[in-house]
Amino acid sequence: MAKKHNANDSWPRPQAAAKPEEPILTGRQVRWIIVGVMLTAGGFAALAKADPAARNWAGRLCPFLILGGYGVIGYALWKKD
């Protein structure tokens, strides 16, 4: 027969997760992420106004806005204050 275990036995009990000492994202990083999302959204909004040949201002500007927005988001995630 199997041995019965009491509540006082030294079984490994799950430990409570430790709270992180510092937040995952700082306020400055969140602001940069918001700026990056706004740039990216502005780029996609300008893309809606671009003609297929990209001969107007929107067709020339939207790739830089979209890629710049993604770059700003990457910078915000990479940089630690």
In a domain, 40, yes or no: yes
Q: What tens digit of pLDDT does each residue of 55-67 get?
A: 888 888 999 999 9
Instruction: Record the pTM.
Output: 0.68
In a domain, 5, yes or no: no
In a domain, 6, yes or no: no
In a domain, 39, yes or no: yes
Residue among 7, 74, 8 at smallest CA distance from 39: 74
Within 10 Å of residue 57's Cβ, how many Cβ atoms? 11
In a domain, 12, yes or no: no
Give the residue numbers spanning the domain of 52.
27-78
Structure-token match 């041995």, residue found: 3
Split into its structural domains, the chain has a count of 1
Q: What tens digit of pLDDT does each residue of 18-36 get?
A: 776 888 888 999 999 999 9
In a domain, 62, yes or no: yes
